[in-house]
A and B are shown apart, each in its own frame.
Chain A
Amino acid sequence: MPDITVENLTVNYVSNKKSVTLALDNVSVKFYSNKINVIAGSSGCGKTTLLKTIAGLIKESSGNIYFDNVNARQLTIQERNLSYVSQNYVLFPHKTIYDNIAFPLKIMGAPREEVDARVIEIAKSLDLTACLTRKPKHISGGQQQRAALARALVKRPSACLMDEPLSNLDPELRGEARKLIKSVFDKCGMTVIYVTHDFREALALADNLIIMDGGQVAVSGNPAAVYASDNAVVHGLIEGSKADFSEFAKKTDYEEKN
C-alpha cells in the first residue's frame, strides 16, 4: 500500500465569467500507508477538493502528487487503484446489493468465481449477507453505508478515499459505524484518507490528522498533538463542534505523560 505525498499542490476553479477561486493553495502533506489519515476542517476549506485531486477527478493547477515514488501524472485513474466512498453512497438503485458490491470487480473483468467469493467474503465481514438480494431502498441507512464501504473495499484498492461517509447517518448510528470503519481498516491495512467536518469523528478515527483552513494545511500530525496544539483553527473546531472532548483530553494527557 503506497504512501501518498502531496507537494505544493494548487487547484484553481475557473468559473464561466473567468473569475478564479483558489481552492487549494500550495498544499504539501503526506498520507501514510496502513493508517487512517483524516482531513478535517470547516465547510469550504478545500478538504473535498484535495481528495478529488488525489483521486484524479480534479486536475491540479500546479504541484505534484506521488504514490510512493511514482508521480500521479504518469498514472491513469485506473492505475492509481483507488476507491472512493462519497457521503451519498451512490449505490445503483436498480441493482441488488450483491450487484452493487460486485460492480467494480465486473468492470475489472474478474472471473465469476472470484467475484462470487470476494463479494460473499466482504458481505460476511460487514454483516450484509441477508441484504444481498435486496435493492438499496429496502435496507437501512447504516446498511447502505456498509454496502458502499463493501463496494469500495471489494476490489482491494491500494487506497480508500472517503468523503464524509457518515454524514447521512443518524447521530446514534454514527458511533457504531465509526467503530466498524476503524476495525475494518485496521484489518485491511491500506492507506485511508477520510474527510470529515466533524472534529469529534476526526479525533476518534485518525491515526494521522490534517486540519485544513482556507485551502491550506493549518496543522497536521498525530491526533493528540493536533488536539493539544495552540492552533487557532483547532480551537475554532473544538468550540464550533459543541461536543464533549473530556474523554479525549484525558486520553491525550495520559499519552503525553507516558
Chain B
Amino acid sequence: MKKKIKVAESDFLPEMLPKNRKEVFFDCLKMRYPVFLWAGIVLFLFSLPVCLLLLFRDFQIYGLYASFQSGGINENELSVAITSYRVSFTLAQIIALPIFGLGLAGVIKVLRRLIWGEGIFYSADFKDGIKENGLRYVILFALAGVIISLCVFIETYMSDAGNPVRYILFAILIILLLPAMLYMLSLTAIYNIKAWGCIKNSFILYVKTFPVTVLFALILAAVYFGLLFIPNLTVKYILTPILIVFALPLFITAWLLYSCRIFDKFINKEHHPEYYNKGIGGI
C-alpha cells in the first residue's frame, strides 16, 4: 500500500514567514529544533572540562565534610581545605572555560546561519566558526574565568558583612563587564571587526540597551552561580547537563537575535545593509 504523502492544503507563501526577530526565535524552535539539540550536545562536550572540575571539587569537599564529621579534621582545618579547593577550582576554570569558548565559537556560527534562515552544514560551519571566532572567544572566556575568579576571591576573602568594597566589585564584574562581554560575543560572531572596535562598540551598545542587556547577563550569572552553589549534588548533576543541552542553545539564540535587532537599529541600516533584517522573511 502506498504511504500517503502529507501535504499542506495551500501553498506556503512568503507572507507566512516570521516578521520580526521574536517570531524568528519561535519559528526556529518549531521548525528546526534538531539544530538546537545538536548545538546543546556540542556545547555539553566542550563544557566537560568545567563540569569535571566541578565534580572533582564537589567530591573533594564532600570527602572533607565526611572526614570532619568522623572527627578526622577539626573545623579550622576544614575551612582552610574548603577555601583551598574553591580557589584551586576557580583558577583551573581559567583554563577550562576557554575550551568551552572554543566550542561556542563553532556553535555560534551554526546558530547564526540558523537565525538567518540559511542552510546548515554542521561540520563545515562548526570548523569555520572556530577559525573565524576561535581565538577571540578563547581570550574572552579566559577573561571570564579571571572575572569569576575575582568574584570567588572577593566572596572568600572579603566576606565580612557590611564591607562595601565587596558589593562594588561584584557590581563592576557582573553589571559592567559581563553584559559588555555578551555584546563582544555577538559582534565577533557577525562582523569582521578589530579588537578595539569590538570592545568600544560593546560598551556603547550596552549603555544604549542597558535594562534588557543587564537582564540577559543576570539570567546567565544567576544560572551559572546557582549551579555552582546548589547543595544537593544529585540535583546539581542532573540539572547541569539538562541546562547545557536544552536551555543554553536557546539562551544563546535569543541573545543573538536580540543583538541582531540592536545591530539593525544602530549599525546595519547605515553601515551594513546586507545584514539589515537578515533572516526575517526568508532568504
Contacts and interface: CB of A to CB of B under 8 A. Distances in A.
Interface stretch (A48-56, A138-146, A200-208, A227-235): A138-146
Contacts of A141: 5, 7
What range describes how many residues of A lie at the interface?
A: 20 to 34
Interface string A109-150: 000100110011001000001111111111111111000000
Contacts of A88: 2-3, 5
Interface string B112-126: 000001111100110
Contacts of A138: 8, 12, 31
Main secondary structure of the interface of A (DSSP, over half): helix
B16 interface: yes
Name the prevailing secondary structure of the B interface residues. Answer: loop
B121 A129 contact: no
Interface residues of B, number: 27
B119 A98 contact: yes
A74 B173 CA distance: 70
Contacts of B80: none
Nearest to B18: A133
B283 A120 contact: yes
Contact of B119 (A102, A130, A135, A143): A102
A130 B27 CA distance: 13
B11 interface: yes
Interface in A202-248: none
B133 to A, nearest CB: 17
A143 B2 contact: no
Contact of B32 (A93, A129, A133, A142): A133
A43 interface: no
A84 interface: no
A77 B118 CA distance: 31
Given A119-B119, A130-B17, A131-B12, A136 B2 contact: no
Contacts, number: 75
A96 interface: yes
B31 A96 contact: yes
Interface string A134-178: 111111111110000000000000000000000010000000000
B283 A129 contact: yes
B9 interface: yes
Contacts of B283: 120, 123, 129, 132
A116 to B, nearest CB: 6
Given A116-B118, A119-B119, A134 B7 contact: no
B165 interface: no
Interface in A10-59: none
Nearest to A130: B14
A115 B119 contact: yes
B281 to A, nearest CB: 8
A103 B17 CA distance: 23
Interface of A: 88-89, 93-94, 96, 98-99, 102, 106, 112, 115-116, 119-120, 123, 129-144, 168
Given A130-B17, A139-B12, 16 more contacts: A88-B2, A88-B3, A89-B5, A96-B32, A98-B118, A98-B119, A130-B14, A133-B17, A133-B282, A135-B31, A136-B5, A136-B7, A138-B12, A138-B31, A140-B8, A168-B5
